[in-house]
Structure 1
Amino acid sequence: MNIHTESPDQPEVRAMLDRLDAYCAALYPAESNHLMDIASLLNGDVLFLVARDVDGRAVGCAALVKRDGYGEIKRMYVDEARRGLGTGRKLLEHLAMFARMAGVRVLKLETGIHQPEAIGLYERAGFERIEAFGGYQPDPLSLFMEKSL
């Protein structure tokens, strides 16, 4: 597997993000979905990573948004066929590496309570639960997490 910075604005990646959107929409009401659109992911303060298998197929993605005082992880997704194989862990490791190189010392994220696999991944990676941060409001369907680098 290879992980590189790529544009989110390509058909194969858009298809993954569409699957993520549909998955989140099935689990949570619109007001509890905090998804970044493609235009926002193309901003200069966003690093977008794509994981590709040995055949070059996109199998996962994640974004790092540089905020005042921290980096926020957004749009983390791993194709269903690749879950449990370390793709998500490797994406998180790459995000942390790039964050450190950019001088970011804390990573934060928001995820939903109905995603135990994602929560477990983040906890195994050293993320701890915190209160709502940034522009988020407390939401009984959201978990907020952070990790010091």
Structure 2
Amino acid sequence: MGIKSFQGRRAEPEKVETASVSVSDYMSTNLVTFTEDQSIYEVMELLMKHSISGGCVVDEKNNLVGVISEGDCMKHISDCRYYNMPDDHNTVKQRMTCHVETIDANMNVLDAAKKFIECKFRRFPIVKDGKLIGQISQRDVLRAALNLKGDNWHS
């Protein structure tokens, strides 16, 4: 007598609704930006007013040209005091970081978390065709992780 095997009808895999996982779903688009000719003191005032730690520097066509941070402002203060330099003509252009790493808006937001860890940055600008379209911060990635709650982390 042979052994008969019975295999029941296979159910179709359940389609799970996946939450949004791209950087564009979590990036900020209402940004405080700076221009190269602004004074460092103006930057400091805006950073304090808006409770932010830095921002993107753009030209008149909204092309990303750099970033300016609290750290850049602190260096300015320290240099002025230590080297007894006059600080009335110090501009964003003289203090900003020009070589800026960006993140693609279509990148998985959890892959962005890895990039934050590797680069130790607080924020990444998002550009399209050279134009600034948004920014993603570490806090935005935390918000995404809470929203996804681990269910779709492998997407």
The normalised TM-score by structure 1 is: 0.24
The normalised TM-score by structure 2 is: 0.23
Which of the pair has the greater relative contact order for Cα pairs under 8 Å at 6+ separation? 2
- Which one has a bigger Cα radius of gyration? 2
